DNA sequence: CAATCTATGTCAGAATACTGACATGAGTCA
DNA sequence: TGACTCATGTCAGTATTCTGACATAGATTG
């Protein structure tokens, strides 16, 4: 069997390793967010809104890597729960700028601390130089994938 | 507001970047696998079985980063479709060793080529040294996350 | 030897995200 | 101006994965 027919070498494939790492991160984040009754997408939405108030549904969807339909379902439940508010009418176009309520900010607070602790643990064995190299490599991969 | 209350900096967070990269990879893989009527988990299962014949349902689940319940659903449909076979009785314990059929191998062939092209594109701007550094960093992150 | 623990396969139901579709607002351009 | 393209919000239905639960096989342990 020639090398070209041998499939993807799972022990060295960066694609497989990327999936393994993101899976491990997802599991670790779910573990710390579950006690707070929060999913990863839920947390990501609040974190994004905290840092960029006024983002629309579609912008939040892109920032959390889900479809705008999925984000819309989440936003509606967050609105019902009083964590997020959106105006009844769009100030321009159709995009509705969303904002956190005080309740949303309180929910986010403990979640951010929990997620930060996971990220710290993930990076504990990497030097700042190695972290910078990883950042650069990941950015390059993202750019190449999106260019295709 | 002190730095500790500022949340996760999305522009530099390796956790966020990891999620972005895996999302971009997922989208790219789905795009090339969809014409072959194959999902990523479906492909991953066949690829794993091709390289490690006789893996059980639970082992396949761990290798593809889904629950054994999800893998079981997939395996049953693959068995119905004649791409995979499992013995009716376990040779030892309860684990049923799964194997690809010729039909499964044929399905895998074009999928492997498609996925390989995505991985090549993902890495086209990285030198072998940079790829090795990325591999080392990702392995370190996985180890640290699983240790917690 | 019996009790316990761990891993496995499987069923059932719930949660989550997705694709498809439609209407609407804004910008482009002939 | 009118046709066209594009982005957005939203509804509906589908698909996929997950959590919870149970029974069973093998290993461990007292």
Measured between alpha carbons, how far is A21 from B115 in angstroms, rounded to an integer?
19
User: Which token pair is B146?
Assistant: 């699983």
CA B46 centroid distance within chain: 10
**CA distance linking residue B123 with residue B104, whole number of Å:** 28
Helix (H) or strand (E) holding A44: helix A40-51
Calculate how close chain A gets to B70, using CA atoms only, in Å.
15
Å: A100 CA to D18 C1': 28
B69 touches strand D (CB under 7 A): yes
Q: CB A63: neighbour CB atoms within 10 A?
A: 20
Residue among B18, B108, B137 minimizing CB distance to A25 = B18
Q: Hey, of A9, A11, A19, A147, which one would you mutate to test binding to chain B, going by the most B CBs within 10 A of its CB?
A: A19
Q: Is the CB of A44 under 7 A from strand D?
A: no
What ipTM did this prediction achieve?
0.93
Q: Identify the burial level of A19 via C-beta atoms within 10 angstroms of its C-beta, where 0-12 means exposed, 13-18 middle and 19 or more buried.
A: buried
Q: How would residue B4 be classed by pLDDT, with cut points 50, 70 and 90? A: low
* φ, ψ at A55 (rounded to 5°): -65, 145
CA distance A95 to A62: 14
Whether the CB of A59 is less than 7 Å away from nucleic strand D comes out as yes
Average confidence score pLDDT of chain A:
95
Rounded distance between C-alpha atoms, residue A132 and residue B21, angstroms: 15
Helix (H, G, I), strand (E, B) or coil at B9: coil
Element (H, E) at B36: none
Chain segment B62-97, per-residue pLDDT in tens:
999 999 999 999 999 999 999 999 999 989 899 999
Q: How confident is the model at residue A5 (pLDDT cuts 50, 70, 90)?
A: low
When the pLDDT of each residue in chain B is averaged and rounded to a whole number, the result is 94
Burial B67-104 (b: 16+ CB within 10 A, else e): eeeebeebbeebeeeebbebeeeeeeeeebbbebeeeb
**Residue A66 CB: number of other CB atoms within 10 A?**
18
Cβ partners under 8 Å of residue A148, min gap 6: B28, B118, B121
E-assigned strand segments in chain A: 84-85, 99-100
- Residue B5's pLDDT is 59
Residue B17 has pLDDT above 90, yes or no: yes
**pLDDT tens across A103-126, in order?**
999 999 999 999 999 999 999 999
Q: Could you say which of A5, A20, A145 has the minimum Cβ distance to residue B122?
A: A145
- For B107-114, the CB contacts below 8 A with 24+ separation are B107/B36, B107/B38, B107/B46, B107/B83, B108/A7, B108/B43, B108/B46, B108/B47, B108/B50, B109/A5, B110/B36, B111/B33, B111/B36, B111/B38, B111/B43, B111/B46, B111/B47, B112/A7, B112/A8, B112/B47, B114/B32, B114/B33, B114/B36
Distance in Å, alpha carbon of A80 to nearest chain B alpha carbon: 24
Give the pLDDT band of residue A6 (cuts 50, 70, 90).
confident
B96 CA to D26 C1' distance (Å): 14
pLDDT band at B131 (very low <50, low <70, confident <90, very high): very high
Is the Cβ pair B47, A10 closer than 8 Å? yes
Q: Hey, what CATH class is B13-147 in? A: mainly alpha
Residues A79-105, mean pLDDT to the nearest whole number: 96
């Amino acid at each position: 069997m020639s090398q070209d027919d041998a499939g993807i070498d799972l022990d060295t494939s960066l694609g497989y390793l990327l999936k393994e790492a993101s899976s491990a991160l997802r599991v670790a984040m779910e573990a710390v967010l579950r006690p707070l009754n929060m999913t990863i997408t839920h947390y990501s939405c609040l974190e994004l809104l905290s840092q960029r108030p006024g983002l629309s549904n579609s912008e939040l969807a892109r920032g959390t890597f889900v479809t705008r339909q999925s984000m819309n379902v989440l936003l509606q439940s967050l609105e019902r729960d009083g964590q997020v508010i959106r105006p009844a009418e769009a100030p321009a176009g159709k995009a509705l700028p969303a904002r956190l309520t005080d309740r949303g900010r309180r929910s986010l607070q403990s979640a951010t601390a929990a997620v930060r602790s996971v990220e710290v643990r993930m990076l504990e064995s990497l030097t700042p130089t190695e972290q910078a190299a990883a950042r650069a490599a990941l950015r390059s991969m993202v750019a190449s994938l999106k260019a295709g």
